[in-house]
């Protein structure tokens, strides 16, 4: 039975063999693996790109002070991005399930319609949530647009919920009971205290005045980066602003009406970064990939 860390190592080995670059997590707070520039920015443009990585994901509003066995404000996603989407992506994905010990003639694997959309990234795609015995274990998406721009070509994205998958494989009912390794360390020992303290900070302590200020600062810094034509740096500021917005939501200081406006501001920053990224690469891309146009 795979420990949590062996699950990750197995997936790394598998996707590495399929030609993916095995990256390390992006070193910033993000809400999902999709925010990693290796997905957001690299899914734009014609150059082939295959990568896999673990991304710690922060969802402040999902915190439950360590009291709910299924909900965390910090958890791990395993992210695979392949561009252009290979013709056998479904088969590759099913191969990874077999690799981690899920036999599709014993377990019921289903592709259930689920169209994906990220309003803050201006992105959408079509695909499925993959069910294993009635449990959603992976989001499988063919990106159609990112940052408001058509994906040319389309990338296939797989997002595994690692804790959920591990709980399933290990047969435990609480995330905190997961075996982290084979030497007796549990997930709870590593992260329970973290969940308690961060939930408290997210919901109760975080200084909202500072958060509002940080949001504005990110916007200003983003503008500077765009003006300096450094889209990668600009995108970092978009990510930061997005996380600050999530924290403000958790603090409950953003009304329903304001929410749409803040999301629009984050989206504008993400889109602007994507636009600048395309603009700074378009000449090279059109030369290397005849027929491609921005």
Partner 1 sequence: MTDFLLEIRCEEIPARMQVKASEDLARLFGEELGRAGLTPGAIDSFVTPRRLALIARDLPLETAAVSEEFKGPRTNAPAQALEGFLRKTGLTQDQLEDRDGVWFAVVNKPGRATADVLAQAVPAVIRAFPWPKSMRWGTASQTTESLRWVRPLKGIVAILGEDLVDIDVEGVRSSYATLGHRFHHPGEITIGSAHDYVEKLRACHVIVSHPERQAIIADKAAQAAAAHGYTVIEDKGLVAENAGLTEWPVPLLGDFDPAFLEVPPEVIQLTLRINQKYFVLRDAAGTLAPAFICTANIEAKDGGAAIVAGNRKVLAARLSDARFFWEQDKKTALADHAKKLERITFHEKLGTVADKVERVAKLARWLVEEDIVKGADADLAEQAARLAKADLVTEMVGEFPELQGIMGGYYARAEGLPDVVADAIRDHYKPVGQGDDVPTAPITVAVSLADKLDTLVGFFGIEQGPTGSKDPFALRRAALSVLRLLETNGLRLNLKKAHAFALTDHVYRHVFLNTKALADVDAQTLAKFGFDPAKVTELEWQAANLGRPEIKSFVGAFASSDLPFLDFFADRLKVQQKEAGVRHDLIDAVFALGQATGKIEDDLVRLLARVHALQSFVATDDGVNLLAGYKRAANILKKEAGDLPTGNTALSYTPEIAEAALIAALDVAEPRAAQAIAAEDFEGAMAALAALRAPIDAFFESVTVNDSDADKRAARLALLARVRDAVHTAADFSKITG
Question: From the CB of 20, what's the least distance to partner 1, in Å?
Answer: 17
Q: Identify which of residues 12 and 107 has a Cβ nearer to partner 1 in the complex.
A: 107
Stretch that binds partner 1, among 78-86, 189-197, 213-221, 270-278 (CB under 8 A): 78-86
User: Of these, 16, 19, 101, 104, which contacts partner 1 (CB under 8 A)?
Assistant: 104
User: Of these, 132, 238, 248, 269, which contacts partner 1 (CB under 8 A)?
Assistant: 132
User: Of these, 108, 189, 193, 284, which contacts partner 1 (CB under 8 A)?
Assistant: 108
Work out whether strand 123-132 and strand 109-113 pair parallel, antiparallel, or are unpaired: antiparallel
- Determine which helix (DSSP H) or strand (DSSP E) holds 138, and give its type and residue range: strand 135-146
Question: From the CB of 193, what's the least distance to partner 1, in Å?
Answer: 22
Per CB under 8 A, contacts with partner 1 among 82-101 are 84-87, 90, 94
Cα dihedral 191→197→198→201 (10° resolution): 180
206 C-beta neighbours (distance < 10 Å), count: 18
209 C-beta neighbours (distance < 10 Å), count: 8
Q: Identify which of residues 152 and 223 has a Cβ nearer to partner 1 in the complex.
A: 152
Binding string to partner 1 for residues 238 to 257, with x set by CB under 8 A, is what?
A: -----------------xxx
73 makes contact with partner 1 (CB under 8 A): no
Residues near 158 by beta carbon (within 8 Å), at least 6 away in sequence: 78, 79, 80, 81, 89, 93, 138, 139, 140, 141
Q: Do 231 and 273 contact (CB within 8 A), yes or no?
A: yes
Q: Which runs of consecutive H residues, i.e. helices, occur in 143-206?
A: 162-170, 187-200
Three-class HEC string of 15-35? HHHCCCEECCCCCCCCCCHHH
Question: From the CB of 70, what's the least distance to partner 1, in Å?
Answer: 6
* Angle formed at CA 226 by CA 57 and CA 36, multiple of 5 degrees: 20
CA dist., res. 239 & res. 250, Å (int): 17
Stretch that binds partner 1, among 129-137, 185-193, 225-233, 240-248 (CB under 8 A): 129-137
Question: From the CB of 195, what's the least distance to partner 1, in Å?
Answer: 17
Stretch that binds partner 1, among 23-31, 52-60, 67-75, 183-191 (CB under 8 A): 67-75
Question: From the CB of 47, what's the least distance to partner 1, in Å?
Answer: 11
Stretch that binds partner 1, among 54-62, 128-136, 192-200, 261-269 (CB under 8 A): 128-136
Per CB under 8 A, contacts with partner 1 among 143-162 are 144, 150-154, 156
Per CB under 8 A, contacts with partner 1 among 27-46 are 46
Residues lying near partner 1 in the complex (CB under 8 A) are found at 46, 68-70, 84-87, 90, 94, 103-113, 115, 125-128, 132-135, 142, 144, 150-154, 156, 168, 173, 255-257, 289, 291-292
């Amino acid at each position: 039975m795979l420990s949590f860390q062996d699950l990750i190592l197995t997936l790394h080995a598998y996707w590495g063999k399929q030609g993916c670059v095995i990256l390390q997590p992006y070193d910033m707070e993000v809400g999902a693996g999709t925010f990693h520039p290796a997905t957001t920015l690299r899914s734009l443009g014609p150059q082939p790109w295959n990568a896999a990585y673990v991304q710690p994901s922060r969802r402040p509003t999902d915190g439950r002070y360590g009291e709910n066995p299924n909900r965390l404000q910090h958890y791990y996603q395993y992210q695979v991005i392949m561009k252009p989407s290979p013709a056998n992506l479904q088969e590759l994905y099913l191969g990874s399930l077999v690799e981690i010990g899920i036999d599709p003639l014993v377990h019921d694997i289903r592709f259930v319609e689920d169209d994906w959309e990220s309003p803050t990234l201006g992105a959408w795609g079509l695909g499925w949530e993959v069910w294993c015995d009635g449990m959603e274990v992976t989001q499988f998406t063919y990106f159609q647009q990112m940052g408001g721009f058509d994906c040319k070509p389309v990338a296939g994205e797989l997002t595994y919920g690692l804790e959920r998958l591990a709980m399933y494989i290990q047969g435990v009912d609480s995330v905190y009971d997961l075996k982290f390794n084979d030497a007796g360390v549990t997930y709870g020992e590593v992260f329970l205290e973290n969940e308690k303290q961060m939930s408290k900070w997210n919901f109760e302590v975080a200084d909202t005045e500072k958060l509002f200020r940080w949001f504005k600062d990110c916007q200003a810094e983003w503008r500077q980066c765009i003006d300096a034509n450094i889209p990668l740096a600009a995108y970092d500021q978009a990510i930061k602003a997005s996380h600050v917005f999530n924290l403000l939501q958790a603090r409950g200081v953003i009304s329903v009406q304001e929410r749409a406006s803040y999301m629009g501001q984050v989206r504008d920053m993400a889109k602007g970064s994507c636009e600048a990224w395309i603009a700074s690469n378009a000449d090279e891309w059109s030369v290397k990939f005849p027929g491609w146009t921005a």
